[in-house]
């Protein structure tokens, strides 16, 4: 493995270790640290900031399917990176992705709707949480090779707007990425 690939894998592990800590407690995902208003007004390094470091979470009473679906997708995608490099870590990532995805699907709702004052106007999910649920399902299908996730997409394609043919991809809209990944699925 070349030095830059080694650095890349190390960076992915650093990120997934963080996501594992944020999802350690079943039924809870820690999603944000800090006050969005004061953070956007501050141009210091995080180490020098003296603004509030409030911790925000989603749980059964405060759903956030968008952020949980995105977290599940990240964990599932990263599990592929470690599949041959570290099979035990890969399984941990995939199992956590499945748990977080199930939580996101069971307690549907947008993070910005649950904790509006902590999220908006900076991180409002304008396009809804549905695309992130599909994004999580597509990555879980790719990582686990389990048909149940493809069936989830087929079963939920109307209610979760899987057929949306949007040609952009970004933090708030995953439809183009979903279409690319699902088009590569072998039946």
pTM: 0.86
Query: pLDDT tens for residues 43-75?
Result: 888 788 888 788 889 999 999 999 999 999 999
For residue 170, give its domain range.
3-183
- Number of structural domains (the chain) is 1
pLDDT at 77 over 70: yes
pLDDT at 166 over 90: no
d(CA 36, CA 39): 5
| Torsion angles phi and psi, residue 164, rounded to 5 | -60, 125
Burial class (CB in 10 A: 0-12, 13-18, 19+), 82: buried
Domain containing residue 172: CATH number:
1.50.10.10
């Amino acid at each position: 493995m070349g030095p830059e690939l080694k650095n890349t894998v190390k960076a992915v592990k650093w990120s997934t270790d963080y996501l594992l800590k944020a999802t350690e407690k079943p039924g809870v995902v820690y999603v944000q640290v800090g006050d969005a208003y004061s953070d956007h007004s501050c141009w210091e390094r995080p180490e020098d900031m003296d603004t509030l470091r409030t911790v925000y979470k989603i749980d059964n009473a405060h759903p956030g399917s968008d952020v949980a679906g995105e977290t599940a997708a990240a964990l599932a995608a990263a599990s592929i990176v470690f599949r041959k490099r570290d099979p035990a870590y890969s399984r941990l990532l995939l199992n956590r992705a499945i748990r977080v995805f199930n939580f996101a699907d069971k307690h549907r709702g947008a993070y910005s709707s649950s904790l509006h004052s902590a999220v908006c106007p900076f991180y409002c999910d304008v396009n809804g949480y549905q695309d992130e649920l599909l994004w999580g399902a597509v990555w879980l299908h790719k990582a686990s090779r389990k048909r149940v996730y493809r069936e989830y997409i087929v079963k939920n394609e109307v209610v979760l707007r899987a057929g949306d043919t949007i040609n952009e991809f970004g933090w708030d809209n995953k439809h183009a990425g979903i279409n690319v990944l699902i088009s590569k699925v072998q039946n």
